[in-house]
Amino acid sequence: MIEIFLDQLSVPKSCELNKSVYKKYFLQDGILDATDKKTLKEDVGKIRWLYTLKPSTINISPYIDEERDYPEVAILHTELLSPGRVKRIASFMQRSIPYPLVLLFSHKNALSFSLAEKRINQADKAKWVVEEIYDTKWIDLEQPTTQQADFLADCKITNFSFSNFLEFYRSIQERVLALNCAAYTGAYELNNPGTKREADVDRSSIRSNLLKELEKLNSVKLEIANQLNKEKQMGKQVELNTKIKQINDQIERTKGNM
């Protein structure tokens, strides 16, 4: 099923690399802790460096300023033997490879994406700092939800910005955020196509913060619901139910801002 998605992604043949990345690569720089190493050994199958997009392989310009250096974008595919620790795997892969990465993970017929905002380490210009990781939940490629199907159909290289590699990368990032928002709103919607680039970046930041806020609200709601299930006093039950209603109202307001 991953091959069908890659065909639809339509990356030019000139960008194709399709080389193996061996697990030992991630053990070289001391980035992985003991749990990371265990996860790498037990959960990770084959890793393929599918594509390298750079000025010599595609008509996109590098981007560099004092904080960011996006000379190219790499797309990797990792087959997982077990899907449960995919976020941990994405995290140490993003920290280990000093490039803008689009990580594709597959397990059976399911697919997951990981992207990361990275900046130059001001204390050591040769190193990068991972600011934030954006990932999707698992997508069943045989039976995607309506929102997931819309996201997959939108993941075609000609739909992304070709202004420079930062813009290109953020085009994919915006789609990941749109899909994650769709889990709450019920609709896969990108930023307004007529907005300026600066506004788009702000909108992505807003969406990211709203998603974090929803995660926090749902976590608090679950905690209160657990208290409610154990509570025997009527007065306390009423108090907890009131708190849950207030959180539900906050959740709905937050969804409306997405």
Residue type, 78: T
Angle at 169 between CA 168 and CA 171, to 5 degrees: 65
Instruction: Give residue 192's pLDDT band: very low, low, confident or very high (50, 70, 90).
Output: very low
What percentage of the chain carries pLDDT values higher than 70? 93
What percentage of the chain carries pLDDT values higher than 90? 71
Looking at residue 129, its pLDDT comes to: 86
Looking at residue 2, its pLDDT comes to: 87
Q: How large is the average pLDDT for residues 118-125?
A: 74
Q: How large is the average pLDDT for residues 179-194?
A: 80
Smallest CA-to-CA distance from 96 within 56, 39, 138 is with 39
Residue 102 predicted with pLDDT over 60: yes
Which range, of 56-60, 125-129, 248-252, averages the lowest pLDDT?
A: 125-129
Instruction: Give residue 20's pLDDT band: very low, low, confident or very high (50, 70, 90).
Output: very high
Smallest CA-to-CA distance from 42 within 23, 27, 19 is with 23
Residue 1 predicted with pLDDT over 60: yes
Which range, of 4-8, 87-91, 112-116, 200-204, averages the lowest pLDDT?
A: 200-204
User: For tokens 């990032």, what's the residue?
Assistant: 173
| Better-scored residue on pLDDT, 191 or 167 | 167
Cα 25 to Cα 15, 31, 92, 159, distances in angstroms: 22, 11, 12, 33
Computed over every residue of the chain, the mean pLDDT equals 90
- Contact at 8 Å (CB) between 50 and 18? yes
